[in-house]
Amino acid sequence: MAGAAAERKATLRAQFRGRRGHERGAARLAVVEHVLALPELARARTVALYAALGDEVPLEPVARWCIERGRRVVYPIVAGPELELAPDATRPERVPAGEVDLFLVPGQVFDRARRRLGRGGGHYDRLLAGRGANAVLVGICYADRVIDELPEDPWDVRMHAVVTERGVLR
């Protein structure tokens, strides 16, 4: 069974890798608006964001919003085979995942059950395994990246919600 799930995940990654949608300007703004309206963001003291790669939704306006309101913003950085969190990639200070109230997590694809398909290294799953009990996990993507169902492995971490330009999937 695990072999079939891995094969399906690899097929989906290949299908969505490098795929670009139509002009994303309006969609990008709509995603950001939905994120800024999240009650979980309003309550969060420490927010984990990401630096967008490829066709991931950029969240710089969310970072500015957080900083203007005195929130601590952290980003994942690659530390060997793992991801660690840091306020600034140029400084050695690390922030434990257990201190993060809200994780905004990119994905290549999500499904309606809020499963996430990442890039295939398991980095985010391992990082999120160290989260605090009350941390909220929110997947971020464009609506054309949400499918009906993804295969799931025991180590996969589901999101509490997924935000697209069409709204919030809970």
Residue 13 has what pLDDT? 78
- Report the chain's C-alpha Rg in angstroms: 15
Residue 2 has what pLDDT? 60
User: Residue 34: is its pLDDT beyond 70?
Assistant: yes
Per-residue pLDDT tens over the stretch 60-89: 999 999 999 999 999 999 888 899 999 987
Q: How far is CA 122 from CA 22, 107, 117, 161, in A?
A: 29, 12, 9, 19
Residue 113 has what pLDDT? 97
Here the tokens at position 131 are 């989260």
Element (H, E) at 2: helix 2-16
As a whole number, mean pLDDT of residues 29-55 equals 96
User: pLDDT class for 18, splitting at 50, 70, 90?
Assistant: low
As a whole number, mean pLDDT of residues 113-127 equals 92
Cα–Cα nearest to 46, from 97, 91, 2, 90? 97
Element (H, E) at 40: helix 39-43
75 vs 91, higher pLDDT: 75
Here the tokens at position 128 are 């999120």
Annotated domain spans of the chain: 2-169
Q: Write down the pTM of the prediction.
A: 0.89
12 vs 2, higher pLDDT: 12
Domain spanning 2-169: which CATH class is it, in words?
Answer: alpha beta
Beta bridge partner(s), residue 106: 140
**Identity of the highest mean pLDDT range in 15-19, 77-81, 158-162:** 158-162
User: Residue 43: is its pLDDT beyond 90?
Assistant: yes
User: pLDDT class for 26, splitting at 50, 70, 90?
Assistant: very high
Mean pLDDT score of the chain, rounded to an integer? 91
CA 5, 97, 114, 15 dihedral sign is negative
Beta bridge partner(s), residue 163: 140, 168
User: pLDDT class for 1, splitting at 50, 70, 90?
Assistant: very low
